[in-house]
Amino acid sequence: MEVRRRVLRPAPAGEPLKPKQDPHPHSQQQSYLTNAVFFGLFFSLAYFLLHRWREKIRTSTPLHVVTLSEMAAIVSLIASFFYLMAFFGITFILHPFLNYRSSPEDDLDLHIPKPVPTPSCPAALPHHDEDIILAVVSGSIPSYSLETRLDDTRRAALIRRKAVEHITGRSLEGLPVEGFDYDSILGQCCEMPIGFVQIPVGVAGPLLLDGKEYTVPMATTEGCLVASTNRGCKAIHVSGGASSMLLRDAMTRAPVVRFNSAKRASQLKFYLEDPLNFDSLAVVFNKSSRFARLQDIKAAIAGKNLYIRFSCTTGDAMGMNMVSKGVQNVLTFLQSDFPDMDVIGISGNFCSDKKAAAVNWIEGRGKSVVCEAVIKEEVVKKVLKTSVEALVELNMLKNLTGSAMAGALGGFNAHASNIVSAVYLATGQDPAQNVESSHCITMMEAVNDGKDLHISVTMPSLEVGTVGGGTQLASQSACLNLLGVKGASKESPGANSRLLATIVAGSVLAGELSLMSAIAAGQLVNSHMKYNRSSKDITKIGS
């Protein structure tokens, strides 16, 4: 671009320099006044219409039903918009040409090229990997930027790995780096990778659940776990199978907001829990996603702080991001009526995510499932090597009384977290959510005149999904495909994730049955000594 510089003509001797006068001062003042009027008109009308539409949403009035005042406001809004666009838009477009206009007083135009600023870009990367490694070690190249600057995720992982070895002075031999698709985790699963951890995957089953057989993948490094669960699956299968019931499907998020007084906080609590307001809030919440559907709102007060627990369905996704977006929409909507509401955090731990909490044990979070089976007397004796009486007594004293003595929170079971973690790792779930997903109470009772065993597991907060997160990785996707729940359900949104939750509960049922039988029969120690002990010389491995 070129600019024109005006050369001032020297004034005649004895004549003082006079500032150049604007030939149209009145027109400029009128232009400023007109712009101010149209600016005020535009924003006033916009506010009026938004306020009217919000009232229509609250009263369930169709938006296309327009009153005379609203029609006039819409026409005036469009007119003021076109005026402002015409005025400022044309001025902006013509701005480069206006710079070239000259007055009759100009007698010389000098075309001086305008210097083009040099864009600030990172220095070019060295060609050799060894030089890049040294640059990462020295800090001149940030480790996190390697994927972007190299445009090669595998090479970035190799270089970062060698840089880490150089910085720490520790060998990473044994941590594999080849054979993994690093493109699949870029920007969504793991940052700054240097390799991947191998976890063996075993299968237990077939698990006969609700009339269908499932081969359950379990990723674990604990000996006996897969074998024990497999034995439980066998006992369930030969006894006719297990049945499951989905009690609830609702992911939660609970922001914390603060007011200047407890009275104001209680006013919002009453507003949120009033059934007459639920439909309006649901409309605002559900706009965040095609699958998010608000089910319930509960609020709890601590002084002038209010904790609002939103519950919603999330389709086949585990749904944390989905429910968070819906909550943000509602908070924005509420601030028009409660402008003094101060949003402290989108999560106030009343949700409660990745923490053992009574609210999840009582109210549920994610999928709430109960699974049961009746194990025949001969199966208890031949397959499980124990008796119905021994199992019922052990369950009472261990899982119920013993857990109560320990002050357990949701831990009234033998080892539900073992099975939950193994299935979660195999199918790409968030392993940290094993904390609340393992809430489980195991019940055993003698039935059919005391001959057979009725066993059930009740799990109120199984948090699973079949889309998003780690579920799209190749290994985890293969395990989901093995169970027949890969991806989103086309027939019924959410069906795959609900089925996965029941399979997890059925697997926990099998694991509980087998471990409790091993303890009752006195086989636990012998089994672990046989299957969970390494015969390798670890001193040689360490050296």
The verdict on 242 and 303 lying in the same domain is no
Q: Is the pLDDT of residue 337 over 90?
A: yes
| pLDDT > 70: percent of the chain | 82
Dump pLDDT digits (tens) for 164-179.
999 999 999 999 999 9
Confidence of residue 73 (pLDDT cuts 50, 70, 90): confident
The verdict on 520 and 396 lying in the same domain is yes
Domain assignment of residue 486, yes or no: yes
The verdict on 290 and 412 lying in the same domain is no
CATH of the domain at 428: 3.90.770.10
Instruction: Name the phi and psi angles at 344, rounded to 5.
Output: -80, -40
Neighbours of 497 (CB within 10 A): 28
The verdict on 330 and 444 lying in the same domain is no
The verdict on 523 and 417 lying in the same domain is yes
Dump pLDDT digits (tens) for 359-392.
999 999 999 999 999 999 999 999 999 999 999 9
Neighbours of 315 (CB within 10 A): 25
Q: Is the pLDDT of residue 2 over 80?
A: no
Average pLDDT of every residue of the chain = 86
* Amino acid identity for residue 113 in this structure: P
Q: Is the pLDDT of residue 345 over 70?
A: yes
Element (H, E) at 522: none
Domain assignment of residue 113, yes or no: no
The pLDDT score that the predictor gives to residue 101 is 42
Distance, C-alpha 181 to centroid of its chain: 22
Lowest average pLDDT, out of 20-24, 119-123, 196-200, 353-357, goes to 20-24
Task: Return the closest-CA partner of residue 502 out of 457, 455, 454.
Answer: 457
Dump pLDDT digits (tens) for 310-325.
999 999 999 999 999 9
Confidence of residue 105 (pLDDT cuts 50, 70, 90): very low
Q: Is the pLDDT of residue 40 over 50?
A: yes
Q: What is the extent of the structural domain holding 494? A: 199-247+366-530
Dump pLDDT digits (tens) for 209-257.
999 999 999 999 999 999 999 999 999 999 999 999 999 999 999 999 9
Segment 137-157 mean pLDDT: 93
Pairing of strands 243-253, 366-375: antiparallel
Confidence of residue 28 (pLDDT cuts 50, 70, 90): low
Domain assignment of residue 71, yes or no: no
Confidence of residue 474 (pLDDT cuts 50, 70, 90): very high
The pLDDT score that the predictor gives to residue 89 is 57
| pLDDT > 90: percent of the chain | 71
Domain assignment of residue 497, yes or no: yes
The verdict on 258 and 243 lying in the same domain is no
Dump pLDDT digits (tens) for 246-304.
999 999 999 999 999 999 999 999 999 999 999 999 999 999 899 999 999 999 999 99
Domain assignment of residue 38, yes or no: no
Lowest average pLDDT, out of 81-95, 162-176, 375-389, 401-415, goes to 81-95
The pLDDT score that the predictor gives to residue 48 is 80
Domain assignment of residue 262, yes or no: yes
Q: Is the pLDDT of residue 163 over 60?
A: yes
**Residue 183 and residue 463 in contact, taking contact as beta carbons nearer than 8 Å:** no
Neighbours of 511 (CB within 10 A): 33
By CB atoms closer than 10 A (0-12, 13-18, 19+), residue 456 is buried
Maximum mean pLDDT: which of 26-30, 126-130, 276-280: 276-280
More confident residue, 82 or 313: 313
* Number of compact structural domains in the chain: 3
The verdict on 271 and 135 lying in the same domain is no
* Amino acid identity for residue 467 in this structure: V
The pLDDT score that the predictor gives to residue 177 is 94
Those residues whose C-beta lies under 8 Å from the C-beta of residue 212, and which sit 6 or more positions away, are none
| Helix (H), strand (E) counts: the chain | 20, 13
The verdict on 234 and 270 lying in the same domain is no
The verdict on 261 and 321 lying in the same domain is yes
The residues carrying an active-site annotation are 222, 354, 430, 528
Q: How far apart are CA 482 and CA 494, in angstroms?
A: 18
The verdict on 375 and 506 lying in the same domain is yes
Neighbours of 101 (CB within 10 A): 9
Confidence of residue 423 (pLDDT cuts 50, 70, 90): very high
CATH of the domain at 323: 3.30.70.420
Domain assignment of residue 409, yes or no: yes
Dump pLDDT digits (tens) for 483-501.
999 999 999 999 999 999 9
Domain assignment of residue 240, yes or no: yes
The verdict on 213 and 135 lying in the same domain is no
The verdict on 305 and 421 lying in the same domain is no
Q: How far apart are CA 361 and CA 335, in angstroms?
A: 32
